[in-house]
């Protein structure tokens, strides 16, 4: 079991390697690693050209496991994702041809361009870490992580993700525009070729799996567990929210806080770990009321207001 008190060398290698490609986004990389350590799934939502796909591919390339990419389109079928049985004339039997969902890292690119029927093909694998085809169940390799991208401003030809799908994503993040200096560094680094072409794997899947026990051992005090449930329950009795956060959201915030503390070299969670993660874990799980939307409130701003209003445990400060 790894010791606490300093940054973990596995996490340092992953972060440094991804930063060779994704410039100036250490906070975003940190959130990805939070999800990876807890085998959570991430929805990367941002405008075109900000590096959503590059970020996902950099993480996948840095991990020496299997990586599959699915370009979501309106004509995509569920079997294109899960796999299909094909008759083998030589053996005179049906053989299973696994779909791209059976991989360590799965990139669901532009997920909201596929129909709800195809989107639902991800539900079982994201929740149960297995997929069932024609009555046969196949486990996912570990670790297993779905990274989905979508453009939040383009509505034509898209199908909004239903609440049941959104709830299965541990985090929703955005990459954001780079600063001017960072943008100049991007131009220099990609002017004669993309850094992804030469990026090498630096961590084996078994190393991530081995860290799960250590991350799960990070201490969360009783007061902070109550703080998490207070935050979540405040979303269920709020005039600005039509649909509050499910218990799955409470668990995601709890586990994410453990992973964040581990990344920062601590064996215990602090209130700041929870408050910093709350918008990324909870915002996509709520449905703002029509009145809140008319007043210009976003899901993120509502969660930020709740986090500012819910008292932090005195003993934990």
Confidence of residue 154 (pLDDT cuts 50, 70, 90): low
Integer Cα distance of 209 and 250 in angstroms = 23
Longest pairwise C-alpha distance within the chain: 71
pLDDT on residue 159: 86
pLDDT value of residue 287:
94
What CA–CA distances, in Å, run from 161 to 112, 117, 122, 226, 284? 6, 11, 12, 30, 10
| Residue 270 DSSP code | -
Q: Where do you find CATH 1.10.8.80 in the chain?
A: 218-317
Looking at 38-171, list the stretches that DSSP marks H as alpha helix, in order from N- to C-terminal side: 52-62, 78-82, 116-119, 123-128, 163-166
Report the 10 Å Cβ neighbour count for 205. Answer: 18
Which of residues 36 and 51 earns the better pLDDT score? 36
DSSP for 228-269 reads HHHHHHHTSS-TTEEE---HHHHHHHHHHHHHHHHHTT-SB-
Are 24 and 178 a contacting pair, CB within 8 Å?
yes
pLDDT tens by residue, 100-118: 999 999 999 999 999 988 9
* CATH 3.40.50.300 boundaries in the chain: 1-189
Confidence of residue 264 (pLDDT cuts 50, 70, 90): very high
Q: Note the CATH architecture for domain 218-317.
A: Orthogonal Bundle (1.10)
Determine the number of helices (DSSP H) and then strands (DSSP E) in the chain. Answer: 14, 11
Residue 155 pLDDT class (50, 70, 90 cuts): low
Average pLDDT, the chain: 90
Q: What is the CATH number of domain 1-189?
A: 3.40.50.300
- Mean pLDDT (whole number) for 275-279: 95
Q: What is the pLDDT of residues 120-150, one digit of tens each?
A: 899 999 999 999 998 899 999 999 999 999 9
The sign one gets for the Cα dihedral 79, 83, 89, 93 is: negative
C-alpha distances out from residue 157 to 45, 149, 151, 235, Å: 17, 15, 11, 31
Helix, coil or strand: residue 11: helix
Q: How far apart are CA 311 and CA 119, in angstroms?
A: 38
């Amino acid at each position: 079991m790894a010791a606490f008190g300093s940054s973990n060398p596995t996490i340092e290698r992953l972060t440094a390697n991804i930063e060779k490609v994704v410039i100036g986004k250490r906070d975003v990389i940190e959130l990805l690693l939070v999800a990876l350590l807890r085998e959570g799934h991430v929805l990367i939502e941002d405008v075109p050209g900000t590096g959503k796909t590059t970020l996902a591919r950099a993480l996948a390339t840095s991990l020496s496991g299997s990586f599959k990419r699915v370009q979501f389109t309106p004509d995509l079928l569920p079997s294109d994702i899960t796999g299909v049985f094909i008759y083998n004339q030589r053996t005179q039997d049906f053989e299973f041809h696994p779909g791209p969902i059976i991989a360590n890292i799965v990139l669901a690119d532009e997920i909201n361009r596929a129909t709800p029927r195809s989107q639902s093909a991800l539900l079982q694998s994201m929740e149960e870490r297995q997929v069932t085809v024609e009555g046969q169940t196949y486990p996912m390799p570990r670790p297993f992580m779905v990274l989905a991208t979508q453009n939040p401003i383009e509505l034509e030809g898209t199908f909004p993700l239903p609440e049941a799908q959104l709830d299965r994503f541990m985090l929703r993040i955005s990459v954001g525009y780079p600063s001017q200096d960072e943008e100049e560094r991007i131009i220099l680094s990609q002017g004669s070729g993309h850094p992804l072409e030469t990026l090498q794997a630096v961590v084996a899947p078994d190393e991530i799996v081995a860290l799960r026990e250590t991350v799960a051992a990070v201490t969360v005090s009783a007061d902070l567990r109550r703080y998490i449930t207070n935050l979540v329950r405040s979303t269920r009795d709020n005039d600005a929210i039509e649909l509050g956060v499910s218990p799955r959201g409470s668990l995601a915030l709890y586990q994410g806080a453990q992973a964040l503390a581990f990344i920062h070299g601590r064996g215990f969670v602090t209130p700041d770990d929870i408050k910093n993660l709350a918008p990324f874990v909870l915002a996509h799980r709520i449905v703002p009321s029509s009145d809140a939307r008319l007043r210009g409130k976003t899901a993120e701003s509502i969660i930020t207001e709740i986090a500012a209003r819910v008292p932090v445990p005195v003993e934990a400060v």
